[in-house]
Homo-oligomer: A and B are copies of this chain.
Amino acid sequence: MPAILFDECVEGVLAADRTWLGRAVTLVESTRDQDRKATLEILQRLLPHSGGARRVGITGVPGVGKSTFIDALGTYLIAQGHRVAVLAVDPSSSISGGSILGDKTRMPNLAIHDAAYIRPSPSSGSLGGVTRTTRETMTVVEAAGFDVVLVETVGVGQSETAVADMVDFFLVLMLPGAGDELQGIKKGVLELADALVVNKSDGGNEIAAQRAKRDYRAALAMTAPVNSSWVPPVVAVSAIQKTGLEQVVTLMDDYFALMTKSGELANRRASQQVRWMWAMVEGRLRDRLQSSVEVSKLASHLEHQVAVGQTPPAAAAEQILAVFDS
């Protein structure tokens, strides 16, 4: 991209021009080497204009009603005067041949709003790739003045952890359901939650929802860190009937007020960014390691040797490094 286009692009994004916004995000999503330099240039220029949004991660198993919830929550926030961007982290999208996330028909009310911007998950394959794209897209949409960024994830592999580490507030959606269903909570997800939403608290589900609320609250009390200034609340919501949304927004207001005042929000963001810098350095080193033909050849042999107890892991590691260096 020539210099004059950089200026136009940056100005376009800052003016929230849809065309330039789309171009900037497409650039960020590109995996071509030559686009990477332009991306860094654009990000450098947009960075001072970003950071003003509330970054909210949202996860939940398929069927929990994430799209409907995001559609309802986003519409509610827009009615309050906010501008809402919806991004997605779905590392499975490259496998399934196209992400269902971000499909605009899933969020019919948000999709038609000028104050909303919906971007499906990029399908760049690895979680690291998708994570990079989403983090950088966040900078772009924030610079374009979106003051709430909802980052959606389907929760494949480590994607919840990745999303929790790029947002200020992590919301976990649950289904009402008794006893056994509670076991369906994925390992570690409860501990990432800043709040739980029991969705589909409607129809004949009200009693089950109340029971689920109580059970989840007990579970959260078990996993909450001692001396934390924030105890994750549990809210019953019906995204379809639009009940409970006000409660969700109020608790988010409380959370952001508390965390801003205490300085924890700024600290959390600063350490997220620094961790991310090192993760990128290590990721690049790992990429080099994995893209080395000599290393792959040796590694598949050594993995077997190590797995069957023929070679000590330390000795195998030495061999891999020796080949990597040569």
Interface residues of A (CB under 8 A from B): 39-40, 43-44, 47-48, 50-51, 132, 135-136, 139, 182-188, 190-191, 215, 218-219, 221-226, 270-271, 273-274, 276-278, 280-282, 284-286, 289, 302-303, 306-318, 320-321, 324
Contacts and interface: CB of A to CB of B under 8 A. Distances in A.
Contacts of A184: 226
A43 B223 contact: no
Given A40-B314, A219-B219, A219-B222, A309 B273 contact: yes
B182 A222 contact: yes
User: What copy number does this chain have within its complex?
Assistant: 2
B221 A218 contact: no
A184 B227 CA distance: 9
Nearest to A50: B309
Contacts of A313: 135, 273-274, 276-277, 280
Contacts of A225: 186-187
A221 to B, nearest CB: 6
B317 A303 contact: no
B315 A43 contact: yes
Contacts of A324: 281
Given A182-B221, A183-B222, A285-B321, 13 more contacts: A39-B314, A43-B314, A44-B312, A132-B314, A136-B314, A188-B188, A190-B223, A270-B308, A271-B307, A274-B307, A280-B313, A281-B289, A284-B317
A254 to B, nearest CB: 21
